[in-house]
Amino acid sequence: MRETFTKGMARNIYYGGAVFFFLVLIGLTVDTVRSLPKTDNSQNLTEQVASGKRLWEVNNCIGCHTLLGEGAYFAPELGNVYTRFGESTDAIKAFIKYRPVEGVEGRRSMPQFNLTDEQLEDLAQFLKYVDGIKTARDWPPNVQG
Amino acid sequence: MKYESQGVAKLYFVAAIALFIGQILFGVTMGLQYVVGDFLFPEIPFNVARMVHTNLLIVWLLFGFMGSAYFLVPEEAERELYSPMLAKIMFWIFLVAGALTILGYLLVPYARLAELTMNDLLPTMGREFLEQPTITKIGIVIVALAFIFNIGMTVLSGRKTVINLVLLTGLVGLAVFFLFAFYNPDNLVLDKYFWWFVVHLWVEGVWELIMASLLAYVLIKVTGVDREVIEKWLYIIIAMALISGLVGTGHHFFWIGTPDYWQWLGSIFSALEPIPFFMMTLFAFNVVNKRRRDHPNKAAVLWALGTAVMAFLGAGVWGFLHTLAPVNFYTHGTQITAAHGHMAFYGAYVMVVLTMISYSMPLMRGQKAANETAQKLEIRSFWIMTLSMVAITLLLTGAGVMQVYLQRYSSEPLPFMVVQDKLAVFYWLRELAGLAFLYGLFMYVYSFFAKGKAVEDVA
């Protein structure tokens, strides 16, 4: 690098740039959090949905599936599974409930989590709530996720 | 090695390499599960194997960063480490906590682990990469604080070099942003938004500070180039990393229910993210070309150059491929993401830690550089692992392009599992590349034990 560009100048760009853009990120975060109620489907965030989210977490569903595109890529996207399953929470519950304990020979299979009927309902309600989140351009691109 | 206390780094590096082996073993297991779906089912289902694979990666990189800091900071500060004893105690705490957590993943169902560790008191489990029980997370914070205290006291009471200060800033940032791991609101959009404050601001933020400072240190040592020149590069690289990377977080806010303006902000700023990596490549080759000495540790020089190139390809180029919102609309959460993730982590963080190990291990073993045979093996393992990772990335990219087309772009989109079956050939070849990587890793480990002719110091 040229001699006219000194270390001091480089240092100032670092400190100035870091502080400035960190503040920008904070500002945008405040604005994002304020405008979330328009899209985040929080009006449907019931106790049941909250306990469904906990079940989603403690069974490590994200270890195979994506949810709004984030997670593992081993099993289908579930952010729109409610739509894909014909807007039926019963279909979702039945799918989870009847997974074979020993799996399917030679194929990927979801484990049997032995959830109670109440837990199945909570989880299905959580997935329904996620489907109601208004994502930009209505992501995912189509019903297959 | 100028200061005796630098030697604690050896413990950290040995643990890092051991956990690295574990990570890759679980990697090839998952790779096989992609095509032989019932492999090890239901004993080790995919989600468990993945959690072990990613968590081991994070833990061994943290061991690597800590070991690197313990080696580098005393020498830069020109004094002994504030407390070598504290460093040793924290090592064992971290290792035992890490091992127990991994055993927990493997031995009991995850839901049971959540119960046993009282996740309900402060639910933080079950989010990607942050699967650790809350109690482990608290342990990580304690270890990180003790570590930063130890390093901080050494830096602040010694010679303050740019490398030391940048490294310290990066490490403090690492600890601070990890605190977002404890925030887990019921509102999924909020949860996802702040989850990225750990994940993105680590790997595309403060970790880049750590990486750049480690690379700068090794380059000073192996090339003898003037510190002033290297420090100027270091500042400008990390400046660009933060200028692009902070608002660049927005490329994760395209499709999770956050406002539309992130499409523009995220696209523009994250499109700048390759710049610091490109500068790192220029920097590394520049200073190696201007070297004032030929360091006998050829392997370390190769690792340093390799880090710069592979980080640029993996984090820079493969990141840019799918970072623009109109592209990401189709590629988000596909094998394209997996391809990028593999090469970025390997190129940037795995390789920089291996660079530090390559440079410092011989010194800690009382040599200037490893013997000729050992270096030859290490260099060969560099090529095997790196080329295997290139193959993994290309194959996953191929799988991803096909997946995007069949599942998302064609006029008659196919279901996920139907598409996965069609990708089997890519996954089989990826598995072979994974096994080749494992072979390279074994060769790398073996190189530490190989006997041979001592190298001449031609400096």
pLDDT by residue (tens digit) across B4-23? 999 999 999 999 999 999 99
Which residues are bridge partners to A31 per DSSP? none
User: How many cross-chain Cβ pairs, A to B, lie less than 8 Å apart?
Assistant: 234
Collect all residues of chain A within an 8 Å Cβ-Cβ radius of residue B259.
31-32, 35, 39
Q: Residue A131 corresponds to which amino acid?
A: D
Asked whether the predicted pLDDT for residue B459 surpasses 60, the reply is: no
Q: Are B255 and A39 in contact (CB under 8 A)?
A: no
pLDDT for B456: 76
Residue with tokens 């469904």: A52
The shortest CB-CB distance from B51 to any of A32, A60, A112 is to A60
pLDDT for B457: 62
Collect all residues of chain A within an 8 Å Cβ-Cβ radius of residue B250.
28
Give the confidence band of B43 by pLDDT, cuts at 50, 70, 90. very high
Residue with tokens 């060769």: B443
Collect all residues of chain A within an 8 Å Cβ-Cβ radius of residue B408.
140-142, 144
Find which of A25, A125, A129 to mutate to test the B interface (most B CBs within 10 Å of its CB).
A25
Domain residue limits, chain B: 1-160, 223-449
pLDDT tens digits, one per residue of B208-255: 999 999 999 999 999 999 999 999 999 999 999 999 999 999 999 999
pLDDT for B394: 98
Conformational region of residue B160, where left means phi above 0, alpha means psi within -120 to 50, and beta covers everything else? beta
How many CB atoms within 10 Å of residue A67?
A: 22
Tokens of B105: 């993943």
- Residue closest to A145 by CA, chosen among A102, A82, A81, A95: A81
Query: What is the DSSP-derived secondary structure letter of residue B1?
Result: -
Find which of B54, B101, B235 to mutate to test the A interface (most A CBs within 10 Å of its CB).
B235
Cis peptide before B45 (omega within 30 of 0): no
Residue with tokens 């413990």: B11
Query: What is the DSSP-derived secondary structure letter of residue B130?
Result: -
Query: What is the DSSP-derived secondary structure letter of residue B117?
Result: T
Mean pLDDT of chain B: 97
CA B438, chain centre distance (Å): 17
What topology is assigned to B223-449 in CATH? Cytochrome C Oxidase; Chain A (1.20.210)
Counting Cβ atoms within 10 Å, is residue B320 exposed (0-12), middle (13-18) or buried (19+)? middle
Distance from C-alpha of B8 to C-alpha of B381, rounded to nearest angstrom: 26
Interchain proximity A32–B338, CB inside 8 Å: no
Q: Are B419 and B406 in contact (CB under 8 A)?
A: yes
Interchain proximity B50–A74, CB inside 8 Å: yes
Give the confidence band of B1 by pLDDT, cuts at 50, 70, 90. confident
Distance from C-alpha of B266 to C-alpha of B250, rounded to nearest angstrom: 4
Q: How many residues does chain A have?
A: 145
Distance from C-alpha of B386 to C-alpha of B346, rounded to nearest angstrom: 8
- Residue closest to B91 by CA, chosen among B199, B19, B163: B19
Collect all residues of chain A within an 8 Å Cβ-Cβ radius of residue B47.
60-64, 72, 74, 111
Asked whether the predicted pLDDT for residue B201 surpasses 70, the reply is: yes
Residue with tokens 């820079």: B316
Interchain proximity A33–B193, CB inside 8 Å: yes
Which SS3 state, helix, strand or coil, does residue A99 take? Answer: coil
pLDDT for B458: 53
Taking chain A, what is the end-to-end CA distance rounded to the nearest angstrom? 48
Conformational region of residue A87, where left means phi above 0, alpha means psi within -120 to 50, and beta covers everything else? left
Average pLDDT over residues B442-452: 97
How many CB atoms within 10 Å of residue B270?
A: 25
Give the confidence band of B100 by pLDDT, cuts at 50, 70, 90. very high
How many CB atoms within 10 Å of residue A16?
A: 12
- The CATH architecture to which A41-138 belongs is Orthogonal Bundle (1.10)
Average pLDDT over residues B182-199: 98
In which element (H, E) is residue B23 found? helix B9-33
- Closest chain B residue to the Cα of A35, Cα to Cα: B259
Positions in chain A short of pLDDT 70: 1-3
Counting Cβ atoms within 10 Å, is residue B130 exposed (0-12), middle (13-18) or buried (19+)? buried
CB of B309 within 8 Å of a chain A CB? The answer is no
Cis peptide before B42 (omega within 30 of 0): yes
Tokens of B310: 């592979």
User: How far does the CA of residue B10 sit from the closest CA of chain A (Å)?
Assistant: 33
CB of B165 within 8 Å of a chain A CB? The answer is no
- Residue closest to B10 by CA, chosen among B364, B383, B386, B451: B364
Which residues are bridge partners to B95 per DSSP? none
pLDDT for A1: 54
Q: Are B102 and B49 in contact (CB under 8 A)?
A: no
